[in-house]
């Protein structure tokens, strides 16, 4: 399993939709433990954004409650800071999570002010 190296993709949007790769990526970026299981919050989607990467805004998302198991689990979206501002990245993240049509909650990553 290869975890994407954001420093080698500084100007690219990076999307990880494989649950295992997303978990490994989030663990590597100290974000995995920030995203609780959605059912502990009575929602179906929990997400947070981190600004720690020098090149990207990193969003970790966890889905739960879809009928098909493949639709549940972790995902990651990374927007390049070189071309996407923080508010734009947050807006895109909101649109992405809104598309699930399920209750959601944003969690603080501790560095997303």
The helix (run of H) or strand (run of E) holding residue 48 is: strand 45-50
Q: Report phi then psi at 41, rounded to 5.
A: -115, 10
Whole-angstrom Cα Rg for the chain = 13
End-to-end CA distance of the chain: 32
Return the domain boundaries, the chain: 10-106
Per DSSP bridges, beta strands 14-16 and 73-80 are antiparallel
pTM, 2 dp? 0.87
pLDDT in tens, the chain (113 residues): 789 999 999 999 999 999 999 999 999 999 998 888 767 777 788 889 999 999 999 999 988 887 888 888 999 999 999 999 999 999 998 888 877 677 777 777 667 64
């Amino acid at each position: 399993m290869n975890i994407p190296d954001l420093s080698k993709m500084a100007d690219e949007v990076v999307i990880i939709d494989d649950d295992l790769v997303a978990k490994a990526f989030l663990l590597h970026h100290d974000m995995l433990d920030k995203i609780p299981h959605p059912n502990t919050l009575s929602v179906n989607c929990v997400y947070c954004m981190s600004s720690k990467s020098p090149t990207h805004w990193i969003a970790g998302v966890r889905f739960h409650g879809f009928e098909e198991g493949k639709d549940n689990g972790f995902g990651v979206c990374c927007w390049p800071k070189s071309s996407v501002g923080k508010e734009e990245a947050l807006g895109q993240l909101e649109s992405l999570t809104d598309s699930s049509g399920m209750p959601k909650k944003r969690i603080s990553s501790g560095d997303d002010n």
